[in-house]
Structure 1
């Protein structure tokens, strides 16, 4: 196979010492950031449609549920396609699909919720298909010594947009209509499709391709070869399903009922994002010896979020807890992505990454759906206590898995002669 120009560019940039000096990575970074911003912005913009009554709350729920369904359906298929074909090609076509469907979402505002839901499902398909492809493309474009810095740069950009974009969208909504703002996300998807540089050619020869079901099973077998990955994924799924759910449901309730103001809610969410930005900056350069254990300890820090809501503490304690949670989640995310890119067989990386997204983020809505009835049945305190305990216990259990100390497969024992 003829080497692609992207790894050569990466090697040159590595000699210069910074991933930010690599044009191929900068193009990938810009495309990934554009897709993340488009993904985040659509629910917020459609929320603005409630104000001008072009969309009802029920309609909003249907449209967002359709997008989530498209995402979940496309993630495993996108992972298999990205291992079969060029990762760059999968990013291109998934981004173009989302860009083409987004104007239909805009056209349906105030006219047809069914049309909006159908188009939103296609947007979700594009979003889901590009996620594992972006992960695998990063491993192709960036050489291994700089991937942690590269992953940190990507997640930092996502956190910055999350922090600044709400105010920007609110300001734009004063002068720009909601359909026009929706169309702006189509431009972001178009940028995500065309900006990334070329990576390697398809890693699976055409004649060696198996049926989709067999390739998916092969990806599961590859994941099972890495006990640290399965344990870490179980811990991440638990934390998202419990800790994130506490943030999504219990934090607004506690903010209003305990503190009598939504200011604590806004401050805690801002503190979380600011902490995540700090965590991304820290992990871009920090290389702990026991990287896996350090990452799992960071993941466990999310337990401080529900724990801070258990008692009527000073609001500063809640804000501090969310700063720690934000720092910790990036101390986990960046080494986790980097280790997966390093340890998993390259030809199966996208499929394994799709399992990551499918289980961790795919099960998050289940936690959100269950926590409100649980609070109604058992009370806020017991549910928050359970969520905090789960966030602390799951990473601790994952740390016992073989290879968890360094997020790598244990070396086989060598027997003496």
Structure 2
């Protein structure tokens, strides 16, 4: 298949003819399979450990410790992995990070009921493997997929992630009927091995430099690269603000509102399911849609997350609240896919993994801080005040980012 190089000056033009399906490309299909396998292993682990609590293999306190140490490993590995994935072939970083997670996962099973220290150390290593593969996978897309097909490729990847989050709990529950938690941990280890072995080789190589700077200096070079793109700094600030407020309000206050206002947990289940289904719909839509002002359209989608705290604040019918979650799910993917595609297009290839690691570190790495602060804030100021602030931030942050001139098309070209 021959691809025509796009004209940088018209990268924003909407075309009626959609590119050929990326799933006809064997290399991308392998990359997509590996990414999906890693996502399945990542999302399944909390549910498998939850089954361990039900089986009394571990306690609730031990579950909290294991999940916390996994998060610590993830956050610690992301910036280091960004540097390594720019120093070395991205395929090699994917292999070793996923292999590490796959080897460490059974050690959690060995420690269940025997050693909390072993479980915590193994979970830290698993989290490090998860964090290390994220920027490498992101950079590998730019090596495997031609530029005009990357939006569709990113949509296909995020579609797989959303399907995984939707079916992982159900699959885990069904598997628990025939296997215990230790066996299911072994299954997730197999998924990690699949993620390590299946992806293809990329076209890039290590950075061609005579000398190596330290890890901190090279990561700082990635930050400098991000600073060259004003739209990126503005969009990253908006994304971080929305996740730290809107996502936190959802995680902490939705169960309370579902119980106290509606008197049923069905609203909680319906809202979270609607959000995932909305995200699936958004991924399908953005796989084909090429808005002329892609950045503004993406930031508008991000601002839709403000509907969630508004719905939690007002005494609306439960159907309205569920609809707000669905719209927010659509909006977040209308942002995510163009955002990833723009980073892969605009960032210097030799620094792409570092910029991607900065993206993950700030946007999702700071989410636990928002979660930790939201409950004390509710205790001090009340739920209504917190929801008003969250709604204002979710709406104002993308609007402020849209004022940056290069944000219109997520491009400085």
Q: Scaled by the length of structure 1, what TM-score is found?
A: 0.94
1:250 maps onto 2:250 in alignment? no
Q: Deviations over 1:164-220 (max 9, x none)?
A: 221121111111101111111111111111110000242412634322122111111
Q: Which residue does 1:40 correspond to in 2? A: 43
Greater mean alpha carbon deviation, residues 289-298 or residues 372-381: 372-381
Q: Which residue of 1 aligns with 2:11?
A: none
CA RMSD of aligned residues (A): 1.5
Structure 2: gaps (5+ residues) = 5-16
3-state DSSP class of the match of 2:406?
coil
Q: Is the 8 A contact 1:9 1:23 kept in 2?
A: no
**Any conservation in 1 of the 2:295–2:409 contact (CA below 8 Å)?**
yes
Q: Tell me: CA distance 1:33–1:366, structure 2 relative to 1, closer, same or farther (3 Å).
A: same
2:86 matches 1:110: no
- Select the residue among 111, 117, 124 that pairs with 2:127: 124
Q: Provide the residue aligned with 1:166 in structure 2.
A: 169
Write the distance in 2 (CA, Å) between the matches of 1:347 and 1:109. 42
Specify whether residues 9 and 88 from structure 1 end up closer, same or farther in structure 2 by C-alpha distance, changes over 3 A only.
farther
Aligned pairs, how many?
Answer: 401
Stretch moving more, 35-44 or 266-275? 35-44
> Residues 9 and 134 (structure 1 numbering): CA distance in 2 closer, same or farther, change over 3 Å?
farther
Residue 3 of structure 1: aligned partner: none
- The answer to whether the Cα contact below 8 Å between 1:10 and 1:142 also exists between their aligned partners in 2 is no
| Distance across 1 between alignment mates of 2:253 and 2:153 | 34
Tell me the distance in 2 between the aligned counterparts of 1:200 and 1:78.
19
Among 148, 153, 157, the alignment partner of 1:154 is 157
Structural mapping, 1:261-280, within 5 Å: 261-280=264-283
User: Within the alignment, does 1:223 sit opposite 2:223 as a pair?
Assistant: no
Aligned to 2:349: 346
CA offsets per residue over residues 297-333 of structure 1, 9 Å max, x none? 0000011011101122111011000000000000000
Q: Distance in 2 between matches of 1:100 and 1:282?
A: 38
> Whole-Å Cα distance in 2 between the matches of residues 321 and 238 of structure 1?
19
2:72 equivalent among 69, 76, 87: 69
CA-to-partner distance for each residue in 1:243-277, whole Å, 9 max, x for gaps?
Answer: 11011100011001111111000000000000000
Structure 1 range deviating more: 397-406 or 338-347: 397-406
Q: 1:204 is paired with a residue of what secondary structure?
A: coil
Give the unaligned 5+ runs of structure 1: 1-7, 412-417
Choose the corresponding residue for 1:361, options 358, 361, 364: 364
Paired residue secondary structure (1:175): coil
- Tell me, in whole angstroms, the C-alpha distance in 1 between the residues paired with 2:167 and 2:368: 25
**TM-score in terms of structure 2 length:** 0.95
Distance 1:155 1:10, change over 3 A: farther
